[in-house]
Structures are given as C-alpha cells and as structure tokens.
Chains A and B, each alone.
Chain A
Amino acid sequence: MASVAAQPPKTDHVQSSRDKSPPDRATECIHCRLPVPAGNAAWMVEGFCCIGCATAYRLIMGAGLGDYYTMAEQRPLGPTTDGSDPERYRWFDHPDFLEKYTRRADDGRYSVRLALSGIHCAACVWLLEKLPQFLPGVMDARVTWARSTIDLEWDPVRVSLARIATVLCELGYAPYPVSDGGIGDHRRRETREQLIRLAVAGAAAGNNMLIAAALYLGMFAGMAGSIEQLLRMASALVGVVSLVWPGRIFLIGALAALRTRTPHMDLPLALGLFVGTIGSVVNALRGVGDVYFDSISVLIFVLLLGRWIQTRQQRSAAEAIDLLNRLTPRWARRQLDGRFVQVPVTLLREGDIVQVRAEETIPVDGVVSLGRGSVDESILTGESASISKQVGDWVAAGSQNLQATLEIRASATGAQTRIGRIASLVEDAARRKPQIVQWADQMGGRFVVAVLMVAAATLGYWLWAEPAMAVDRVVALLIVACPCALAMATPLAIAVALARAAKHRILIKGGDVLQRLSGTGMVWLDKTGTLTRGQMQLIEWYGDESIQPAVAAIQSHSAHPIAVAMTRHLSRLVNTDDRLASKLQSVEQTSRGGIQANFDGMSIRIGNRRFVESFGGRQIDRFAAEVNQMLAGGITPVYVAADDQVVAVAGVGDPIRGDARWSLNEIRRLGWTVGILSGDHREIVARVARQLDIPPELAHGELLPEDKIRMVQPGFAKRIVTTTGSPNGTPASKTHTSTGTAGGTQECGRHTRIAKAKGTHGSGIDGTVVMIGDGVNDSAALAAASVGIAVRRGAETSLAAAPVYFAQEGLRDMVHLVRLAKTTMRTIRWNFAASLSYNVLAIGLAATGQINPLLAAILMPISSLTVVSLSLLMPHDWSHASEE
C-alpha cells in the first residue's frame, strides 16, 4: 500500500476588516498527528486533540507497545472515535449475534472475523496482532490487510467480545461484523482454484518449453528417431494435461457462449487450443508431422495469467460490511414498566417507546413523545445543519441526536424505516443494472468467424493442391490464429489503469467503469463536499476583534454547526486558556436562535438577526453593507453583541472549493454535461450553480434520496437539455417539493417543464449517467447510475454501493478519471491493432504452408510482449490546477 505524503493542513485565511493573517498555532497530537487547536475547551487533554486519542495512547503505552509510534507512517490518522460509551458494543455479546457471526471450537474457544476501519499501515497490523498481549483472554489475532479484517480467537470465560470490540474502538479501529456467510467461503475456494490452475499451467508450460527446446535442436542437428519419439510423447502428455486441467475453463466458456449465442473471446481461444491439441496428439501418435504442444501450453499459461491479474484488481467490498448494519445501531433502550431496558433493535415493534440520549444514533423512524432537542439528518438529506425537534415531530432512523435526551414512539423499524428501504433500493439497483458487453468480447466473436472462414478456404485450397498436408496446414493455422495477445489486451490495460488510479487514491472496483467513462454523457454532482468544502467555516469577520476569545469560549459550548465552525477557527487564531474559562459564566442557549453568556462582567450575545432584534440590540445595521454582501454570496451572518450593542459580524458559510471551477471546465471540455443534485436548500444550490456556470434547469436542490434515484436514470437527463439560444424560450423549471417530515411513503413531487431539446456540448447526453455523491445518503442513486462515484465516507462503505471511490476531496479526481478512461481505451485499441497484425502475419504464413512450431513459438510470445509493453508504457497526464 503506497504511503502518500501528508498534506500540511492549511490555515484558512479569514477576511477581516483589518485583513490580518492569523498566526499558526497548531501543534500535532501525539497519537493521530492532526493539529491540536491551541484553545481550551472542557474536553481537551494536554498533548492530544481529543479524548479518543488520549485513551488510545494510554492503552498502547500501558501495554509496552510504544514502538507503534516509531513505526507508524508519517501521515495524520484522522480523529479517533471516542470509545468511552461502554454500551456501544453490548450487542456483540447477544446470543443472536454470536450465533450469526461467530464460530465455536471444540475446546470452548470462539472465533470471529470483524471488519475494521482505520487500518492504514504496517504499524496498525503490528499493534492489532499484539492484542493477546494486553487483553487477556484473546488467544489469537490475525489481520488480513487486503480486506481490512481481523480474525480473532478468544476465551469467552475470560473476556467478552463486547469488551474486545470496545478496546478495538478505543485504539481507533471501529469494528463491524462481517456478514458474508457462505458466499465468502465459496469465493475463497474459487480464488484458490484459480491460483492452482495458474500454477499447473505454468509448470506445464515450463516443462513443455524444455522438451520443445530439445526438439528444435534436433531439427537442425538431427536426432535419433526413438529419442525424438520419446520427447514428442512426453510433450504430448504434458500438453494434454495442460488442456484438460487448467485449460478446461476456456472450453467450458466457449461452450457456454455458443449455447447463449453471445460473442466471447473464449471462442477463438477454445477453437485454437482444442483443434491444436487433437491435431498434435494425432501427429505424435503417428510419428509424423508437427506438434505444437509447447505453444499451446504457453498460451494457456499466459491467458490464465492475464485473467488472474484481472481478478486481483477487482476489490470485493460488498462482502465486507452490511450497509444497513453500518448506519443504524443494533441496540436500543425500550421502555418497559416505567424503566428503560436494553434490547436488540430487531425486537422493537411499532408503538414501542425508545429513549435516545445525546450523541446517539436514532434506531427507529418515529415521533418524539418526550423531550426537545435537535438532530442531524445528514444521513438522509446530506445536510449537516441541525434541525430542532420537539414533541410531535417526526424523526428518522439513522439520524444523529445532538443535544438532549429524547423519547420516541416508533412508527417503523428495521428494513421498514426510510433508511432501511433506501438500503434495499441500493441492492435492487445494483442487481438490475445491465452488463455492458465488453468491446473486447465483441471483437472475439467476429475474430472467430473470420478465422473459420480463412481456415475453410485454406482447407479447400490444400485439398486441391497437396491433399496429404491439408489437415496439418489447417491445424497449424488454427493454432497460430489463437488470439492470446488479443485476449490479454483489455485485462492488461485495465489492470495497469486501475493500479495507477489506486496510487492516486482513486479506487475503482471493476474495469467496465473505464469503458463507460471514455465517452460522453451526463455528470450529476452532489454539492456539499464536492463543489463546496462540505464544512461550515468562518470566512469573514467585521468589527471588534478583541472579543474573539470570548466568542470562542462561548461557542465551544454549543454543538450547532455554525458554533463549531466558529470555535474551530477562532481557537486557532487566538490564545484561549483556563483563565478565559473562569471568566465565563451562565452560558445559555436560547430558543430564539442565539446563545448568550456573561463574560468578565459583560453580557455577550451571539446569534442571527432575529435574535438581536428580540433583545433590542443597538447598532444592528452598523455593518449593513457587509451583511448584504454576505447574503448575496450565500454566507450566513452571525451577529456579536456586547452589553446589548452589536460590535461585530461574523460570516459563516460553506465556501466553494478553489479547484471547482477548473475541474468543471475540464470536465465539460472532455465532453460531459454537468448538473447538480443536492438535498440542500434550493437558493443555496442556485447560488452555487450560478457561480459555476451551471444552467439553472440542471441544478436541483431539496431533493430526497428517492428523487435522486429517479433522476439518474438515463432517460431523465435526455429530457432536460440546455438550450443554446433557442427562440422557443428558455425552459423554466417549476419545482414543487414535498418535504419529508411526515414519514411513510413520499410522492416525489418534482415537476419540471420539459424543454425542447436543442443540442448541447458535443454529442451531449447519450445515456451514460455519472453520479458523484456521498457514499452513504446518496448510495441508492450511486448504485442506479451508469457509473456511481462515492466521495467522503469511508472506502469500505462507499464501495458497497458505488464502483468508484475518490479518497480525495474535490473534483480534480473526476478529471483524472475521465482522462484515464480515454487513455485506457486508446491503449486497448493499440493493443488490439498490434496483436491482430501478428495474428494476420501468422495466419498468412500458416495458410501458405510456411509455418512450423519454432516459428510459432517465436511469433506468439512476441505478440504478447508487445501488448504488455504497450500497456505498461501507457502515458498519462496527471497535471491539474492547484487549489487556490
């Protein structure tokens, strides 16, 4: 796994009335190497960025495993989840869980395989495999790097699986059950058989080449008849073994293709191999005529090698993590006789009352029956702004409860929840997607027809000219016509492309993605995190700056995204410490859209305009001009008042990424039409679209996940086309959305006036629809699109729904991917041209009777070598504009 050099964190430049650059105060957290904000909030521990990292450090050092820090690659890890909630993994000990996911050995030990997130280097493997050392009761721990899983054996008497899971989480590797059941076993066996076939073919090829070398020498120097016959028989034996054992799959594949009448590259391969072997066996028994066993064995080996390379490239993420499992908790507190008891979520029924505490995930769809607070519904809407909820409001399973304990009466559970239905939509969409017939297979079909015609012609000619040699000539022709290089042309080019993409942290699950992306079509983008940074940030500050420490201290008490953004930035700018915290008193979050506190005798209030008006703040229009500018640019103004007088205005917003403009222009230049599909507010989406030259009818906001699924179907994009100066009027899109607060089935109420199609960039919208979106809440749309590209979430979750995953933020990777697709298709075409010319040459020689085994043994490897070289030397342009 290549280690990528870390990007130094950029300290953002905040525009202020005096335009001063902020000092860089970041030091690195000892555990995860993310910058430690130089501020002080209640949860900060000296030297670490969070309690999670501090705990992990103590655990690791306490077990005497401090070497971990010297071995870990020089790269920031990312924040460690706080494993302090001991309840989180209780459900790992439940009998249902143990029965489904674990195995019991005869001696009482249990074994389980868990998928872990956060494994990123050899040090992680080392640390995890040392688990038996510091967690008594764990007998064995083995990590499988490629699948990011750990196989554990433990003694249930001495330690519980829940405890193990908690420790894993504290170390920074959140565990999840792997639900592959029997499918995983089957795939494992298939992979082993493939390796065995390859090895046997290799052994056969090597041995046959040795024997053939002797025979070739005999061609020139003369050889005793008996020895020659011995060698031919030995060669025949090895050759037949290589056809019957490893080569069998080509014959089977060809038969299947014939039966279903689909073109496939196996057809010409099987023809050449089969006829060639039979013919050579006959000649070996006769003692007269040429034998081609060495070429056949080498052919089989090289073909299997190509296939093996191809299979290894494909990432199998779907087996790893059950999507629904990942998104909702498996454990909940249900009300029973006035108390709340822990039960598995699978046992919850409609009408049950569940209690959800702050910072927990809500396990069911339902209505709030007690309590008032706010939730984060980004899993459904993509928007991370908090939504306040009180008695009577509907809440969704999977959303995050932010502040206060809520009691919820369940209306839907499990697969019936909205998020459960979306997860099943993902599986549905993935299943229904038609497989494109690979261009290579079509070539294979045509090739076999052409070869048969030439063979027939050759047979006819030689039967007339020199009947004794006719059959031999045709057999030879069929052997050298075997398109080994042709069959490898596509897999090799794709394998190289996928490997290069992976090095640039673009993960691709299968090669057909490249073929789809090499043409033109429609790209639908998510807004948050792709076009914008995805995080609220403090962008502007006008007014009194001396009050910033107080503001930072006050806002650190709120979990609201705006407050978090302000705290994060301000605590890097200014020195906040213990003394400040002591000056702070009576912090109170009001329901009127603001927060207020007493600081050093002053009363400070922070909030929106309505809040300021509500307490009669003076000088509210002091920064009117700047505020108007903010609103026009989509930035939220936050007023700061000291002693009832407005002294400053801060601008908080989600800024457009610096590379967005360049990326979009490149994507358009490469022949794609761009649009936005977002769950965010329509005005914000419209503003972003305007700034990036996206026509309004292609920018859609306030979409539900179900809406997006409908809109990524290929037919939909055809109907919405940009008109370039059409006299029939620009299309207006009247949009009516029903907001999803009522639960249950939602009619997707979007109506868009159908525009007269007039023509677009290039060939425009021709059926390939690309969707770039969040790996979790856009997952169904990603699975339904022709090519779904997941961003932002973890790789394992994303690749369950989408075939492509961008590990880096922004759209530059899309540009790279499209370029890579075009280059790869070009390389494939070159490969075809090269290998075809060798085949034509060989067939020509065979038809005219000039071919012999030596010549064949030279020509065919050269054609393979040419194809390999072309694939490896494929040039690619990875340049891009730097982010401003």
Chain B
Amino acid sequence: MSVLFIALPVALLLGGAAVAAFVIAARGGQFDDLETPPRRILFDDREGRTPSRGNR
C-alpha cells in the first residue's frame, strides 16, 4: 500500500484546517478593511503610545 493513501487525506485535512482558519478570521471582521492598515504601517511608533483595541 502506497504512503499516498495516508498522505493525500492528511494533506486535504491540513488544507481544510487552513480554510477553517480563514473563515473564522473573515467572519471576525479581520478582512473588512484592507486599505487603512497599509497606510498605518508607515507611521512611526512613539514611546508611551496607548495601544488601541482591535475593531469589532
């Protein structure tokens, strides 16, 4: 029996897990705004900055 009979289902399961993680992240709103974060990374951090809470 080839190892493929185990490897293939495992690979599919791993893929399924990745999809599940994505679905959870998307439903949690993490992909709602893809345009502001690219601009935000250009800002310099300063000491003592109040950490902001994640958005709903």
Contact = CB atoms under 8 A, between A and B. Distances in A.
Contacts of B26: 192, 195-196, 199
B39 A142 contact: no
A340 interface: no
A238 B31 contact: no
Contact of B36 (A133, A140, A145, A230): A145
B29 A144 contact: no
Nearest to B24: A196
A437 B35 CA distance: 33
Contact of B50 (A132, A188, A196, A238): A132
A65 to B, nearest CB: 10
Contacts of A230: 4-5, 8
B5 to A, nearest CB: 6
A141 B53 CA distance: 9
Contact of B33 (A146, A203, A224): A146
B18 A203 contact: yes
A230 B9 CA distance: 10
Given A145-B33, A195-B26, A140 B53 contact: yes
A192 B27 contact: yes
Contact of B32 (A125, A153, A188, A237): A188
A568 B11 CA distance: 72
Nearest to B5: A230
Interface residues of A, number: 34
Given A140-B52, A227-B4, A230-B8, A196 B15 contact: no
B19 A200 contact: yes
Most chain B beta carbons < 10 A, residue from A125, A132, A153, A192: A192
Contacts of B32: 188, 191-192
Contacts of A238: 12
Nearest to A144: B33
B50 A145 contact: no
A424 interface: no
A196 B35 contact: no
A196 B40 contact: no
Interface in B1-52: 2, 4-5, 8-9, 11-12, 15, 18-19, 22-23, 26-27, 29, 31-33, 35-36, 39-40, 42-44, 49-50, 52
Contacts of A129: 40, 52
A122 interface: yes
B49 to A, nearest CB: 8
Contact of A125 (B12, B18, B29, B39): B39
Nearest to A224: B2
Interface in A106-135: 122, 125-126, 129, 132-133
Nearest to B54: A142
Interface string A195-211: 11001100100010000
A165 B43 CA distance: 24
Given A142-B52, A146-B33, A227-B4, A237 B39 contact: no
Contacts of B9: 234
A600 interface: no
Is chain A's binding surface mostly helix, strand, loop or mixed? helix
B37 to A, nearest CB: 9
A158 B55 CA distance: 22
A132 B53 CA distance: 12
B15 A207 contact: yes
Contacts of B15: 203, 207
A191 B15 CA distance: 23
A765 B32 CA distance: 44
A12 interface: no
A151 interface: yes
Contact of B29 (A143, A192, A200): A192
B19 A143 contact: no
A151 B32 CA distance: 14
Contacts of A125: 36, 39-40
A229 B3 CA distance: 15
Contacts of A143: 36
A863 to B, nearest CB: 28
Contacts of A139: 53
Contacts of A141: 52
A142 B40 CA distance: 10
B23 A196 contact: yes
Contacts of A196: 22-23, 26-27
B5 A142 contact: no
A235 to B, nearest CB: 10
Contacts of A67: 44
B39 A151 contact: no
B34 to A, nearest CB: 8
A175 to B, nearest CB: 18
Given A129-B52, A132-B50, A199 B19 contact: yes
Contacts of A145: 33, 35-36, 39
Nearest to A124: B39
A227 B22 CA distance: 31
A628 B40 CA distance: 60
B12 A144 contact: no
A195 B19 CA distance: 12
A140 to B, nearest CB: 5
B19 to A, nearest CB: 5
A195 B2 contact: no
A238 B49 CA distance: 47
A73 to B, nearest CB: 11
B16 to A, nearest CB: 9
Contacts of A151: 55
Contacts of B12: 207, 234, 237-238
Nearest to A211: B8
22 contacts: A122-B43, A125-B36, A126-B43, A129-B40, A132-B52, A133-B49, A142-B36, A142-B52, A143-B36, A144-B33, A145-B35, A146-B36, A153-B53, A188-B29, A188-B32, A192-B26, A192-B27, A195-B31, A199-B19, A207-B15, A234-B9, A237-B12
Interface of A: 67, 122, 125-126, 129, 132-133, 139-146, 151, 153, 188, 191-192, 195-196, 199-200, 203, 207, 224, 226-227, 230-231, 234, 237-238
Given A151-B55, A227-B2, 6 more contacts: A132-B50, A140-B52, A144-B33, A145-B35, A195-B31, A203-B15
Q: Which 3 A-B residue pairings sit nearest by Cβ, starting from the closest?
A: A122-B39, A145-B36, A145-B35
